[in-house]
Structures are given as C-alpha cells and as structure tokens.
Structure 1
Amino acid sequence: MARLISIVIGAAFVFVLAIALFGTAKTAITEPAAESAEHVFHLHPENIGLPSAGLFGKFDRQQVQRGFAVYKEVCAACHSLKYVAFRDLTKIGYTDAEVKAIANQWVIEQPSVNPDTGEATTRKNLPSDHFPSPFANEVAARAANNNALPPDLSLITKAREDGPNYVHALITGYRNQPAELLKEFPGAKTPPGLHYNPYFANLNIAMPPPLTADGQVTYSDGTKATKDQMARDVSAFLTWTAEPNLEARHAAGLAAVIFLVIFVFLTWGAYQNVWRGVEH
C-alpha cells in the first residue's frame, strides 16, 4: 500500500512539472520577451589577431613592453595589477637593472610602517613587490571614480569573454549614442557621468575614454602610437599578465600531442607484429 501511494505521489509530481514546463514553453513562444536596448545595440569585438592567439601563439615581447608602457602611463592611475610583481617584467625582456629602476621610480609607493613611531608611511618599491594599488581601499577608489570601482587588470583578459579582443574593443569603442537607439528606446539615454560604449554589457560605462589622442604614449622603439596601436599593445600586455606561462603551456601541449601520435604508431606496430600470421 505504501509503495502504491509513493508511486501515485511521484506521478502527480511529474504531471505538475510537465504542466509547468508546457505553460512556460507556450508563453515563451506566444509572448516572447521584448528586446532590450542592450540586446539590440550591444556589439561583439572583432578578432585583433594577437601573436599570442591560437594553438601555437607566442608573445611578441616588444609589443608586450609597449603595452606595459601604455598601462604605466594611462591605466595605472586607476587600475591595479595586484597579481603581478615588478620582477615578473624580466619575463618580457627587461633586465634586472631595468626592473629595479622601474620599481624604484614607480609613482605609487608601497604602504609601510615607521619602525620608530609606529605610524603609517610609505617606502620605495622593490623588484619583489607587487604593483601597488593606486587607491588606499575600495571606498577611496569609488570616491575618485563616480562610485564605480575600477577592476584589477591582472586577470581581466581571462575574466571577460574573448578577453584581448574585448579589451581592445572597449578601449576604442567610445562613441556618441546613436539616434536610432534613442528613437527605439527613448528611456535608454546615457545617464550623466557615464559614457556610451556599445562593447560594454549595459552600453554605459563609468570609465571615460582612456586613449584620447594619437601619441598619448611615447614608444621607445619608435612605433607610431596611434589609439588603435596602443589599444592592441595594452591588450597584449594584459594577455601576458593573465597568462604569463602561455608559451610553456602551448609547448607542453604540442609535446603531448606529438608523444600521443608516436605512441599510437608504436602500438599499431606492436599489434601488427604480435598478431602477424594469426587468422581471426
């Protein structure tokens, strides 16, 4: 009897779920949700073809160094790089002496404590230090940025879909709000203090355009610093900060594939040798 009751209860539960699923599907078909401005006018980034992309991608260290220059001159005023140490820059071609000079001359110093008075103070950066945050805490960061919190950029190309392409598109994507958007969605006007950018999730971003003119950064290798070039270079640099071991990972993957191919042929050869002349 108890078994029969449990079967009836289970069947009733399945029946209710089926009715709910049918009702949801019917509503979705007959009364589709209205499209939002974000859905209609949001754009997807184009592939910028960084050398690090693809199965055999490698970093162009000269480009990554140029990207570091863009970060240093443009992005570091608001965005932290807390998972990267100054000494990591040796992996992109800087010498130990250059890294020491970069750390020592970095505008933002490391927080410290005066051993004599116990009061808070600062000290020069060392190569072993991580890049210091431009703000003392989250409250200070929001106060300086219209209550928006600038994200840390260490892993930004891994945290965003289509990371490097997204970073490039976002930096270069600022524009005036199209008249078609306001005509179709009158209530979607960009609020004061925000900036229209179709590559941002909700179309309006608190960060003002970081690259405002060609030549904003001077490249030591003589490359012409157009806005597009600077955006590409900083995207390459942030790809490196997110995946500093990308080249080693690609090499290990290639070695594994080659090993598996050789192993398959050896196994096939052993099979042919063992079962040669044996009738099945």
Structure 2
Amino acid sequence: MISKSMRAIVAALVIGATAPALAAGDAPKPPAQNWSFKGPFGTFDRAELQRGYQVYKEVCAACHSMKYVAFRNLRDIGFSEAEVKALAATFEVTDGPNDSGDMFQRPGLPQDKFPSPFPNEKAARASNGGAYPLDLSLIAKARGHGYDGDGADYLRALLTGYQDAPAGFALGEGLSYNAYFPGHQIAMPKPLNEDQVTYADGTKATVEQMAHDVSAFLTWAAEPKLEERKRMGFKVIIFLLVLTGLFFAAKKRIWAKLH
C-alpha cells in the first residue's frame, strides 16, 4: 500500500475524491506567480523543470502516470542522453508478450512513455480510497482558463493551500481544508512537507519551492512546444509589420502618381 504522503500530491486534484458539496465559484483566485515562461518572450527555466521532475518522480509518480510524455522528452529540459537513459531505467515498464505469451517487466527505455504505477483502474482506486488518480500529462491545461501561466498558478496555490479550517467551518471527517480548492474540503492530506525531497542542485526543498517547481514541470509537460510557438508568433508579427510597411509605402507611391 502506498503511503498517503506519496500518493497525495496531485491526487488532491482528482474530481470525486472530494467532499460532496463543491461549488465551483467559492474558491479565491490563485495569486499570479512570476513564472519564467510567462509573456510573449518567456522561456522555461531548465533548472526549475529538472527540480520539478524530481518532485514528480519522488512524490507524484507513485500514483500518477504521464502517458503522453516519453522519457526521451526529458532531453528538452536539459537532461543529457546518458541521464535520460539512467532516469528511464529507474522505472519498471510492462512489455510483451514474450515467446511464452506472457507480459513481463523490464527497465524503462528512452522511447517509453511514463508508465502508470497501477496495472488497472480497480487497483488504482483500491490504493487511493476509491479515487482514480488522473494522468498528469495535461493537468496544467485542464486546470487553466487560457491565461498565461494560470494553470501553474492554480496547481501551486492548491499544493500550498492546506491550512487549519477557520472557526465555525464544518470540515467533513477525514477531509482537509484547502484555501484554493472549490468547496475548501479535499480528501487528500497535505501532500508536501519541508525537505521531502533532496534536490540534486542543492536548492532548499521548502513546500513553496517544491510546489513551484512541480507546477512549472507540469506546465512544460502540457505545453512542451510553448517556446517554439512563441518564437514562431514573434516571427509572424515581424513579418506582418514588414508587410504592412511595404503596403503603406506602395500605397503612398501609387497615390502620389495619381495626384
């Protein structure tokens, strides 16, 4: 059985693992963060993404898959080919059938997608109090509303939003109070604690730091082409500005001849 702290980080996001009354509009807007990828010229911070991957692997991956992300994609966040192979090999992947017709487990390879930690949905629900852990590949988009970085804002706020229930608040049995979760009652306990991971780069693993890093990583997972899209948009704008200038100059020249 997986410990609560290991399975809690994003299982808190699972619809259905919450209290019955969850009004969509009664949670405050998450505070906007200064993400490196915000704005028309924003880019991902590779060190931040690598720390976020570490939080995902050591905390989230116990329950949550990322079925649309392959290990080889980690090269895009700064890991070398050798590091990607080593990271992939730390996961067990189901493969087969073999010559005997049986499925078998093997170490992951760079071309493999992040595996589910459970063999099927029933096993996942049995280990998570009846809740089915969401795949995290697109969670930042699913929790966003189309604004730059708002999905990451929500994820970070949720992960840091656990606190004591205010006086007079009727908190259901076995539920935790979260300032940013709709209804404020969430079935999963506080997922992050100080120094829960030991960052490879020596960064202090505070709750806020881990929440920030993993939220950035999940944003990259949902929008891996974000930087490329912004570069293309900038080129298109430059092209349109030049084209507009040429049209304006041509118009002036034509009208000058007519007058």
Is TM (by shorter chain) over 0.5?
Answer: yes
Residue number in structure 1 paired with 2:100: 117
Residue number in structure 2 paired with 1:94: 79
More helix by share: 1
2:221 is the alignment partner of 1:241: yes
- 8 Å Cα contact 1:157/1:167 also seen in 2: yes
After superposition, give the CA deviation of every residue in 1:39-89 in whole Å (9 maximum; x if it has no partner): 785222101111011111100001100110111111111111111000000
For the structure 1 residues 89 and 83, does the alpha-carbon distance in structure 2 shift closer, same or farther, using more than 3 Å as the test? same
Q: Identity rate of aligned residues, in percent?
A: 52
2:143 is the alignment partner of 1:155: no
2:182 is the alignment partner of 1:201: yes
Q: Which amino acid aligns with 1:68?
A: Y
- 8 Å Cα contact 1:196/1:203 also seen in 2: yes
In structure 2, C-alpha distance between the alignment counterparts of 1:255 and 1:227, rounded to whole Å: 39
Q: 2:43 aligns with which of 44, 52, 58?
A: 58
Task: Please give the secondary structure, in 2, of the residue aligned with 1:192.
Answer: coil
Q: Which amino acid aligns with 1:155?
A: L
2:31 is the alignment partner of 1:46: yes
For residues 57-76 of structure 1, what are the structure 2 equivalents within 5 Å? 57-76=42-61
In structure 1, C-alpha distance between the alignment counterparts of 2:235 and 2:95, rounded to whole Å: 46
Larger-gyration structure (1/2): 1
For the structure 1 residues 194 and 136, does the alpha-carbon distance in structure 2 shift closer, same or farther, using more than 3 Å as the test? farther
Query: What is the TM-score when the length of structure 1 is the normalising length?
Result: 0.79
2:148 is the alignment partner of 1:167: no
- Gap regions ≥5 residues in structure 1: 1-35, 183-188
Q: How far is the alpha carbon of 1:138 from its aligned partner?
A: 1.4
2:235 is the alignment partner of 1:250: no
In structure 1, C-alpha distance between the alignment counterparts of 2:152 and 2:85, rounded to whole Å: 28
Task: Please give the secondary structure, in 1, of the residue aligned with 2:95.
Answer: strand
Task: Please give the secondary structure, in 1, of the residue aligned with 2:67.
Answer: coil
Q: Which amino acid aligns with 1:199?
A: Y
Q: How far is the alpha carbon of 1:201 from its aligned partner?
A: 2.1
In structure 2, C-alpha distance between the alignment counterparts of 1:215 and 1:232, rounded to whole Å: 14
Residue number in structure 2 paired with 1:228: 208
Residue number in structure 1 paired with 2:129: 146
Task: Please give the secondary structure, in 1, of the residue aligned with 2:154.
Answer: helix
Residue number in structure 1 paired with 2:69: 84
- Gap regions ≥5 residues in structure 2: 1-20, 145-149
Aligned-CA RMSD value: 1.7
Q: How far is the alpha carbon of 1:220 from its aligned partner?
A: 1.6
Task: Please give the secondary structure, in 1, of the residue aligned with 2:79.
Answer: coil
Q: How far is the alpha carbon of 1:114 from its aligned partner?
A: 5.1
Residue number in structure 2 paired with 1:28: none
Query: What is the TM-score when the length of structure 2 is the normalising length?
Result: 0.85
Using CA pairs below 8 Å that are at least 6 residues apart, which structure has the higher relative contact order? Answer: 2
After superposition, give the CA deviation of every residue in 1:12-62 in whole Å (9 maximum; x if it has no partner): xxxxxxxxxxxxxxxxxxxxxxxx984785222101111011111100001
Equivalent residue pairs, number: 234
For the structure 1 residues 39 and 118, does the alpha-carbon distance in structure 2 shift closer, same or farther, using more than 3 Å as the test? closer
